[in-house]
Chains A and B, each alone.
Chain A
Amino acid sequence: MKPGTTAAEAGLILCEGCGLLVRPAHAHEPGYCPRCDAELEFRRHESIQRTWALIIGAAICYLPANILPIMLSNQLGRIEKDTIISGVILLYNHGSAVLAAIVLIASVIIPLAKLIALSYLLITVQRGSVKKNRDRAKLYRLVEIVGRWSMLDVFVVTFIVALIQLQPLMAIMPGTGVLFFGAVVVLTMLGAESFDPRLIWDSSKGRWDEDE
């Protein structure tokens, strides 16, 4: 075996269910993993189309998630609406700059950055790019790790709503924005899962990186 050979080039498949390296009997119909019975695939099934569909869905939800209120507070009949951004500003004004920054990063920047990063990965893969493979691989790993932290604001709203139920003095209700926001997080997480990072390297045909 010459160095730089991929499993697919050698006719082998790494089972995504259990991590066993398998030599399937027929390359065009790999069948099932002998150890864990998961379906064997050289690359995740329709990875590019699925990932596009999920991130387009997420991008559509991103707007209402940021425009619609995520929380409505009723203080003696006076109703105030809070969006994600106004929540961040509120935290900042109350002197918790660190928490304000965390919420801003988790709720606004990470979802947007994930959409941009996944689109960039998809476009470069579709164009057969062989450049910056290592950086793109790193970017994918980052997207994978960081995505779940966006759920932060959904939990914040949940606990505030649960605690502030002091009718008729003051009550806080969740707004529709939180539903769209949750959808953005879930769709981008599924998008990251359906993207197959091995596609990044497939156009390079054994070469490691353009500058190596």
Chain B
Amino acid sequence: MTSLPENLIACPHCDLLQVIPALPPRGKARCPRCGKVVQVSKPDSINRTLALTVAAAIAYIVANIWPMMGLAAAGRTSSTTIIGGVEQMWRQGEPITALLVGFCVVLAPAVQIGFMLVLLLAVRRSPAPEWAGELLRWFRFHQPWAMVEVMMLGVLVSLVKIADLATVVPGVGMFSLGALIFLFTGITAAFDPEKVWERVRWANGEGPKEAGG
């Protein structure tokens, strides 16, 4: 296996080979042919992502334990948590949709936070164990399915729809959901998978980095 130049990459969207110059902090490189962002320099990626992930874990727990919103109509009140919504969907005869919602708004974000915590703690010492790489590989396919921000918009739309039937009260869960959105955005902005790969032992037993390639 001939070794390839260190900073030679292929664009993931058009396969063009290109050499990436050293980027300034927060600098971005786009593929000259198709315009896809091929590299972003993210300073202190692992520590920053870890801090944001710990905060996200707390926000996630609060958002799931406390009610999203409540309403009062004709002297009666009701309130729901995220899981309560999933459960009601199941009981009202739409179990498949309930599973889909449960996956996108409860399970996927939890798995994402959990993955990230374990992964970042594991790579704090180098070389990181092999399963860290395995974890990261799955993480990438999983990412688009965690739909916290879409759910937030859904909560807002349902609040407006219900508003003329009953008095609606946004709950604690909704505010922590709001915080969770910002934290997820922050995690995506701060996380640089390449930094993790640099510390992971390669699947073929070599590496990390200095021994590989």
Binding site for B on A (CB under 8 A): 1, 4-8, 10, 12, 14, 16-21, 23, 25, 32-38, 87, 90-91, 94, 96, 99, 102-103, 106, 133-134, 137-138, 140-141, 147-149, 151-166, 169-170, 173-174, 176, 178-179, 182, 186, 189, 193, 197-198, 200-202, 208
Contact = CB atoms under 8 A, between A and B. Distances in A.
A137 B14 contact: yes
A159 B68 contact: yes
Q: Which of A87, A96, A154, A179 counts the most B-chain CB atoms under 10 A from its CB?
A: A154
B interface, over-half SS: mixed
Contacts of B128: none
A212 to B, nearest CB: 9
B93 A91 contact: no
A80 to B, nearest CB: 12
A7 B10 CA distance: 6
A133 B34 CA distance: 8
Contacts of B185: none
Interface stretch (B21-29, B48-56, B116-124, B129-137): B129-137
Given A36-B133, A137-B34, A155-B155, A99 B15 contact: no
A35 B161 contact: no
Interface of B: 1-2, 4, 8-10, 12-17, 33-36, 68-71, 73-74, 76, 78-80, 84-89, 92-94, 96-98, 100-101, 104-105, 133-134, 136-137, 140, 144-145, 147, 150-151, 153-158, 160-162, 164-166, 168, 193-194, 197, 200, 202-204, 206-207, 212
Contacts, number: 225
B35 A134 contact: yes
Nearest to B158: A159
A165 B88 contact: yes
Contact of B74 (A103, A147, A169): A169
Contact of A160 (B35, B162, B164): B162
A137 B89 contact: no
Contact of A151 (B13, B94, B150): B150
Nearest to B101: A158
